[in-house]
C-alpha cells in the first residue's frame, strides 16, 4: 500500500460530514483493486481507487456512488450500503473517493465459516437470499440505473483485448476469440448487471444477507452475464478458486440456480454453459493481467505474483470447460 494514512486522516477530517469524529483509518483492503478503509470514530467505510496500477480500470468513484444510490432507492430487495459523501477532487486525499455505511456481517469465498460449517443446511437459505437479490437487480428498471454497458459480444471482445495486452496464454485467447466469433444468445432487453456477483461479494450475519458489495464492474447489459459468472464456480476441480460452500449438500446445484433465476426474472436462460465459459474467461483475463503487471515490474504487490503462478492451471481449467460447452 502506497498511501499515507496520517495525511489521509487530515484530509478527511476537513472535507466530509462528521470528519472531525474520525480517530483513525483502518485498512480493510488495499493495493489490489478498489480500496476500502474503516473510518474509526465515524464508523463508516471509505472507498477509493487502488494506490498503484490496478486490474479493473477505470475506477469511477462517482459512478459507483450513483449505482449504490440507485439500487438502494429502486431495488430495495438488494441490500447495499447507504452512500454518504462523494468527493471527486483528487487533491483532498490523493484520489476521488466516497464514504458509505458500514454494515454488519462477514464475507467468505476461500473457506466455509464456522457458523456455516456447524449448520451446513443453512446453505439452501443462503443461496435463496443470494439469488433473490440477484433477480431483484435484474428486474430493476434499467432507466433508473446509471447508464453504460456492453453487448455480450463487446464484453467478450473487451476481455480478449485485456488478454492480448497481458500476453495471456494462447488457450485463453482462443476461447475468447471463439466467444467473439460465435456470439452467445440473449434473453431480452438489457438490465442492470452487477458484473461480479459471486457469493464472496455477499456479507452475512447470522445467516442473513446484509450486503451485496463491489459494484465496480456494474453495467446495463445482458443479465445472463451475471448468471454465467456464478455458474462457473461449479465443477472447477483441482483448480477451484474462491468457491467455498459449493460442495455443501444443501448448496444449490447448477440447475437449481438456473431455475431460480428463471423464476425470479421471468426469462429463459440461454447458452448457460457458454456464459459460464465467458465468466471464467473474464476471471482468467484478470488473473493474466495481474501476473503480467507483476512480471513486467509495473507493480510489486506479491498477490499479483501469485496470480502469475496461477495462470497455467486456471487457463487449463478454462480450456477444458470451453471444450465441454462446445
Q: Is residue 140 scored above 90 in pLDDT?
A: yes
| Per-residue pLDDT at 236 exceeds 80 | no
Distance CA 87, CA 89 (A): 6
Q: List the CATH number of the domain containing 175.
A: 3.90.1200.10
Any idea what the CATH number is for the domain that residue 52 is in? 3.30.200.20
- Within this chain, do residues 132 and 215 fall inside the same structural domain, yes or no? yes
Q: What is the pLDDT of residue 149?
A: 96
User: How does 243-252 read in b/e, with b if 16+ C-beta sit within 10 Å?
Assistant: bbbbebeebb
- φ, ψ dihedrals at 66, nearest 5°: -70, -40
Tell me the backbone φ, ψ of residue 184, rounded to 5 degrees. -80, 155
Residue with cell 452487477: 194
pLDDT tens-digit series, residues 92-103: 999 999 999 999
Tell me: pLDDT of 31 over 90: no
Peptide bond into 20 cis (omega under 30): no
Q: 194 and 51 in one domain?
A: no
Q: Is residue 24 part of a domain?
A: yes
The answer, yes or no, to whether residue 169 has pLDDT greater than 90, is yes
Q: β-strands 24-29, 44-48: how paired?
A: unpaired
Angle at 287 between CA 284 and CA 293, to 5 degrees: 140
Report residue 52's pLDDT band, with 50, 70 and 90 as the boundaries. Answer: confident
pLDDT of residue 161 exceeding 90: yes
Residue 189: inside a domain, yes or no?
yes
Instruction: Choose one of 101, 133, 167: the last residue of a domain.
Output: 101
Question: Residue 239: is its pLDDT beyond 90?
Answer: no
Mean of per-residue pLDDT scores for the chain: 93
Q: Report pLDDT for 105.
A: 95
pLDDT at 125 over 60: yes
Q: How many domains does the chain contain in total? A: 2
Check whether 60 has a pLDDT greater than 70: yes
As a whole-number percent, the residues of the chain with pLDDT over 70 amount to: 97
**Stated pTM of the model:** 0.95
Same domain, 135 and 189: yes
**Domain check: are 119 and 64 in the same one?**
no
Question: Domain boundary at 65, 80, 101, which?
Answer: 101
CA–CA gap between residue 28 and residue 188 (Å, rounded): 39
- Cα 243 from Cα 231, distance rounded (Å): 11
Residue 233: per-residue pLDDT: 93
**Domain range spanning residue 34?**
5-101
| Residue 147 reports pLDDT greater than 70 | yes
The region of weakest confidence among 47-61, 168-182, 200-214, 224-238 is: 47-61
Give tens-digit pLDDT for 256-287. 999 999 999 999 999 999 999 999 999 999 99
Residues 148 and 177 in one domain: yes
Are 45 and 150 in a shared domain?
A: no
Regarding whether 129 and 95 lie in a shared domain, the answer is no
Residue 240 has a pLDDT of 61
Residue for cell digits 465459459?
Answer: 277
* Helix runs in the chain, H state only: 5-13, 61-74, 114-118, 123-139, 152-165, 170-181, 224-231, 254-265, 272-295, 302-325
| 86 and 152 fall within a common domain | no
Say what percent of the chain tops pLDDT 90: 83
Is residue 107 situated within a structural domain? no
Is 83 part of any domain?
Answer: yes
Q: Helix (H, G, I), strand (E, B), or coil: what is residue 255?
A: helix
Instruction: Single out the residue in 41, 69, 101 at which a domain terminates.
Output: 101
Please give the average per-residue pLDDT across 224-243, as a whole number: 84
Confidence label for 132 from pLDDT (cuts 50, 70 and 90) = very high
For residue 109, being part of any structural domain is answered with: no
Answer whether 273's CB lies under 8 Å from 325's CB. Answer: yes
Q: Are residues 119 and 26 in the same domain?
A: no
89 & 238 share domain: no
Task: Looking at the structure, tell me whether residues 73 and 121 fall in a common domain.
Answer: no
**How does pLDDT run across 9-18, given as a tens digit for each residue?**
999 999 999 9
* Half-sphere exposure in the Cβ direction for 254 (13 Å, CA): 13
- Residue 45 scores a pLDDT above 70: yes
Residue 232 lies in a domain: yes
The confidence score (pLDDT) of residue 1 equals 53
- The mean pLDDT of 117-136, rounded to a whole number, is 97
What per-residue confidence (pLDDT) applies to 155?
98
Answer whether residue 64 is part of any domain. yes
Question: Which DSSP letter does residue 106 get?
Answer: B
**Quick one: average pLDDT of 191-205?**
96
Is residue 166 included in any domain, yes or no? yes
Same domain, 31 and 132: no
* Contacting residues for 259 by C-beta, under 8 A, at least 6 apart: none
Give the pLDDT confidence score for residue 150 in this predicted structure. Answer: 97
Amino acid at each position: 500500500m502506497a498511501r499515507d494514512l496520517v495525511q489521509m486522516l487530515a484530509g478527511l477530517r476537513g472535507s466530509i460530514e462528521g470528519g472531525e469524529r474520525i480517530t483513525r483509518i483502518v485498512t480493510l483492503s488495499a493495493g489490489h483493486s478498489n480500496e476500502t478503509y474503516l473510518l474509526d470514530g465515524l464508523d463508516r467505510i471509505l472507498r477509493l481507487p487502488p494506490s498503484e496500477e490496478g486490474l479493473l480500470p477505470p475506477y469511477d468513484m462517482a459512478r459507483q456512488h450513483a449505482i449504490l444510490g440507485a439500487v438502494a432507492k429502486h431495488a430495495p430487495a438488494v441490500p447495499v450500503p447507504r452512500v454518504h459523501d462523494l468527493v471527486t477532487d483528487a487533491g483532498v486525499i490523493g484520489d476521488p473517493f466516497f464514504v458509505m455505511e458500514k454494515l454488519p456481517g462477514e464475507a467468505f469465498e476461500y473457506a466455509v465459516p464456522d457458523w456455516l460449517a456447524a449448520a451446513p443446511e443453512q446453505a439452501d437459505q443462503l443461496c435463496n437470499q443470494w439469488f433473490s437479490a440477484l433477480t431483484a437487480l435484474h428486474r430493476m428498471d434499467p432507466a433508473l440505473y446509471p447508464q453504460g454497458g456492453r453487448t455480450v459480444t463487446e464484453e467478450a471482445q473487451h476481455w480478449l483485448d485485456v488478454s492480448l495486452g497481458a500476453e495471456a496464454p494462447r488457450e485463453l485467447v482462443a476461447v475468447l476469440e471463439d466467444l467473439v466469433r460465435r456470439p452467445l444468445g440473449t434473453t431480452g432487453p438489457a438490465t442492470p448487471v452487477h458484473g461480479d456477483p459471486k457469493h464472496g461479494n455477499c456479507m452475512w450475519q447470522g445467516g442473513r444477507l446484509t450486503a451485496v458489495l463491489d459494484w465496480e464492474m456494474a453495467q446495463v447489459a445482458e443479465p445472463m452475464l451475471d448468471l454465467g459468472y456464478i455458474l462457473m464456480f461449479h465443477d472447477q476441480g483441482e483448480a477451484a478458486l474462491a468457491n467455498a460452500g459449493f460442495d455443501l449438500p444443501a448448496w444449490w446445484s447448477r440447475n437449481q440456480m438456473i431455475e431460480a433465476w428463471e423464476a425470479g426474472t421471468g426469462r429463459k436462460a440461454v447458452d448457460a454453459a457458454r456464459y459460464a465459459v465467458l465468466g471464467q474467461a473474464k476471471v482468467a483475463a484478470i488473473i493474466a493481467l495481474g501476473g503480467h503487471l507483476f512480471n513486467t515490474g509495473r507493480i510489486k504487490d506479491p498477490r499479483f505474483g501469485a496470480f502469475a503462478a496461477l495462470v497455467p492451471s486456471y487457463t487449463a481449467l478454462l480450456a477444458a470447460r470451453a471444450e465441454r460447452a462446445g
